[in-house]
A and B are shown apart, each in its own frame.
Chain A
Amino acid sequence: DSGVTQTPKHLITATGQRVTLRCSPRSGDLSVYWYQQSLDQGLQFLIQYYNGEERAKGNILERFSAQQFPDLHSELNLSSLELGDSALYFCASSVANRDLGNTIYFGEGSWLTVV
């Protein structure tokens, strides 16, 4: 157990709909990252938040948005869903500690299937 919690674990929805994926980082971690992994693909970085502020943005579509709340949990909102958005969405968090190698820990992911 990495300590990063993601809900829901599985989600099936129709095209055109909107969903929200939720992530609770490990206790004490200020940074939250979202990644997308399509079938048999590598991990694509979407967006990073640090202590409530957007820190970095990757290949995130305009139909997608995210935020990090004061309690440090984060939500990824996906709207106007298309079949190609079907993927495994990972949340990860990290502690900024040089001695710990600045490791990023991943949640178990949220499986999104768009039908």
Chain B
Amino acid sequence: AQTVTQSQPEMSVQEAETVTLSCTYDTSESDYYLFWYKQPPSRQMILVIRQEAYKQQNATENRFSVNFQKAAKSFSLKISDSQLGDAAMYFCAYRRDRDDKIIFGKGTRLHILP
């Protein structure tokens, strides 16, 4: 069964600094999809970034980028120029294929220090 592991329950970063959240996953599939979702205090689930396993290029969305290491089954999220609004729970997620459910990690709570 596929699993997603986030080894950092909590992290803190100074405002304007860069932080990297770690995620590893386990799968025997060669084609799949990876996501990072943000859940602020409002508890809404917001898609931050997605990566298709068949694409070698790492995805980037403004200040958010990923380091996708397919062989190592690693999918880390880098947040540059951290802002107070980035404070949230971040979930790494895996999806095997279209129409399949998403499997979530347990989350990393990110604190931004002013």
Contacts and interface: CB of A to CB of B under 8 A. Distances in A.
Interface residues of B, number: 23
Contacts of A90: 45
Interface string A41-84: 11101001010000110100000000000000000000000000
Interface of A: 30-31, 33, 37, 41-43, 45, 48, 50, 55-56, 58, 88, 90, 92, 94, 96-98, 101-106, 108-109
A65 B102 CA distance: 20
A97 B101 contact: no
- Report the 6 A-B pairs with minimum CB-CB distance, sorted nearest first: A106-B45, A96-B98, A101-B50, A42-B106, A102-B98, A43-B104
Interface in B61-114: 91, 95, 97-107
Contacts of A105: 47
Contacts, number: 59
B91 A109 contact: no
B95 A104 contact: yes
16 contacts: A33-B101, A37-B43, A41-B106, A43-B104, A45-B101, A48-B101, A92-B45, A92-B102, A94-B98, A96-B99, A98-B52, A102-B33, A102-B98, A102-B99, A105-B47, A109-B45
Contacts of B104: 42-43
Interface in B18-46: 33, 35, 37, 43-45
A88 B95 contact: no
A45 B99 contact: no
A43 B51 CA distance: 20
A22 B65 CA distance: 35
A20 B45 CA distance: 21
A45 B98 contact: no
A109 B50 CA distance: 22
A102 B95 contact: yes
